[in-house]
Structure formats: structure tokens, C-alpha cells
Amino acid sequence: MDGTQNAILESSLQNGIGPSTKAPCATDVARGIKRLFARNDIWCVEEMALKNNRRADLMGIDARGQIIIVEIKVARGDLLGDNKWPDYLDFCDRFFWGVPPELDRSPLESEAYSPERCGIIVADGYDAEIVRQAPLEPLAAARRKAEIEKLARIALRRNTALIDPQCTDLSSAG
């Protein structure tokens, strides 16, 4: 490759054109999962705070009112080092791991990751596929009601802030 070809290739890569060596990121995985969910009438929000001081990467509601939580992992070390994920199970009817196609999913088959309780969604920035369905583990009715109300209020607040950012300054909820 001569100097001109090198310069063109370098310029193309800097402008997002050409082969990608970009590592998968959680934003891409979340986008793909949200597209899958939208096709299945599941609507979710990102970074949902829970009462136990944890934060769900994605938390959503399906057409039957069931709550779904997705914990996104894009790196093996992050997956293997996560010991807080069981704390999410008390806040959802179904729990999924969301991972990029490149991530080795074999640890998710081990007992430490409760494969009988957790589904797996493989996603990139364009789409997603459920490769293992999460079994339904129904929440108590009172817990579900409280979580749905909290989720709805957060979603409405975020929507209002998109339309009029000054509205969030008026809220006493913080």
C-alpha cells in the first residue's frame, strides 16, 4: 500500500468508514435489546435505580405487566467480577443477561450464574436475539405494583425533561 492509499484508509477509519475494530459497548448492546423489546411490546428505561441501592441497566414492562431487568456485560472481567446481580432478582419477573456476540457466554452456564433463573440476550447496536428465555418468576402483586408505579414516574419524568429541561428544575423530587 502506497502513501496515498494509507492516507485514504487512515482518513476513512477516522471518519467511521471502513473496517471496524471498535470494542462492543454497553450503549450498543442496550440499543439492540431495546429494538428487540420494542418489536415485542416491551418498553424499558435505562439505569433504573432500585430500592436496594442497585441500578438496573435496563428495566421494562411487557404487555402483561411483567417486569423485566437486563444486566448488560460487554467484558469477560466485568461479568466474572459481578457478584451483585442476584440483588436484581427481587425486583423483576424475568431477568436477562445482555451481552455482545463476541463475549464468551460459557460462564453464564455455570451454577454461579443460575442458568435456570436467568435468560440471555445477545445484542449489537442494530438488533438482538434471545438465546435463552428467562423463566417467569412472578413478583408479589404489591411489589409489582410499587415497581411499575416507580418505573412509570421515572419514564414520565425523563420524557418531560426531554421536552422541557427546565421542568426538572421545578421538581422537588430531585
CATH code of 151's domain: 3.40.1350
Is 32 domain-assigned?
Answer: yes
Q: Which structural domain, as residue segments, surrounds residue 81?
A: 22-162
Is 98 domain-assigned?
Answer: yes
Q: Which three cell numbers stand for residue 37?
A: 423489546
Is 14 domain-assigned?
Answer: no
Is 120 domain-assigned?
Answer: yes
According to DSSP, the residues that pair with 86 across neighbouring strands are none
pLDDT band, very low/low/confident/very high, at 60 (cuts 50, 70, 90): very high
Is 168 domain-assigned?
Answer: no
Q: Which residue has the cell 429541561?
A: 165
Q: What is the pLDDT of residues 102-154, one digit of tens each?
A: 999 999 999 999 999 999 999 999 999 999 999 999 999 999 999 999 999 99
Report the domain count for the chain.
Answer: 1
Is the pTM higher than 0.75? The answer reads yes
Is 138 domain-assigned?
Answer: yes
